[in-house]
Amino acid sequence: MILFKKAADLQDHIAKQRAKGISVGFAPTMGALHAGHISLIETVKEHDGLTVCSIFVNPTQFNDPKDFEKYPVTIENDINMLEKAGCDILFIPTVAEMYPGGLVSPQHYELGYLETILEGKFRPSHFQGVCQVVHRLLDIVQPDNLYLGQKDYQQCMVLTKLVELLGKNIKVIICPTLRENDGLAMSSRNMRLNEQERLQAVNISQVLFTLKKDIKPGDLGYLKDNATEYLTKHGFKVDYVEIADAKTLAPQQHWDGTAKLVALVAAFLNEVRLIDNMLMN
């Protein structure tokens, strides 16, 4: 695996590969890698000739400075995991390399209602920061395919919209969420949970599995209320439990029994905010 810290060096290298007709697959991350990230890398390797991963903890997407400061950094382990997975290129830029003109974005991304609901509502400015960093990364890497995890369902929709807004000819490939044996969605933030919190955390996925089992045509309000109550009883501070149209993410109060639905949860265990989602049908 080749490590690049400078955008220009990475661009030179990728351009040479592309000139040979090799397709470029890209999986951006914030590091503290786990098997979920590695599954993305494995999927890239199945589809593309050149596998590019980036690790950059993007300051502009953290609405809570404490969350940014405490974001886990495990770079040596990350490099080992990527090497083992057969990743070709790792881009680890500094903040100055990513944002030579400063942190303030020169551009506002027209995400519409997508940034007014769920994560957008509870983390103001978060998706603008996500678009800012991914825009810059896409300009540098110019991938054929962009690989994202369903774990961040709304982010997948936002970035699909970003690719559209930028008019880039990039295919977005969404990869399934990898879970621990007990069902907890793998996440870098899980490293911040203490032993007790780790045991409690499993309730998020349990709530989603229960929703999937119990969902039936008609009113959805009581299911969301029950789920919120369950999580609160198990020590969470719930930001939202929502059942939404899987294509548009519009929150749903009723189900006609046919529309594709996704349930999404965001909740704090003390300081640590966890998110998860599951397709209902």
Give me the residues that bind ligand AMP (CB under 6 A), please.
29-30, 36-37, 39-40, 148-149, 151-152, 175, 177-178, 185-188
Shortest Cβ distance from residue 99 to ligand AMP (Å)? 17
- Find the length of the chain: 281
- Judged by CB, which is closer to ligand AMP: 189, or 224? 189
Shortest Cβ distance from residue 235 to ligand AMP (Å)? 22
- Judged by CB, which is closer to ligand AMP: 36, or 241? 36
Shortest Cβ distance from residue 179 to ligand AMP (Å)? 7
User: How far apart, in Å, are the Cα atoms of 136 and each of 43, 105, 177, 193?
Assistant: 23, 10, 25, 32
Active site residue 47: no
- Judged by CB, which is closer to ligand AMP: 92, or 259? 92
Alpha-carbon gap, residue 78 to 90, rounded angstroms: 10
The tally of CA atoms less than 13 A away on the side-chain side of residue 115 is 19
Shortest Cβ distance from residue 34 to ligand AMP (Å)? 7
Residue 257 zone, left/alpha/beta (φ > 0; ψ -120 to 50; rest): left
Angle between the N-to-C axes of helices 75-85 and 35-47, in degrees from 0 to 180, rounded to the nearest 10 = 40
Give the Cβ contact number of residue 81 at 10 Å.
18
Catalytic residue among 34, 37, 126, 135: 37
Q: Which two tokens stand for residue 273?
A: 């905010």
- Which H or E run contains 67? helix 65-69
- Judged by CB, which is closer to ligand AMP: 29, or 105? 29
Q: Which two tokens stand for residue 98?
A: 């990513």
Residues annotated catalytic, as ranges: 37
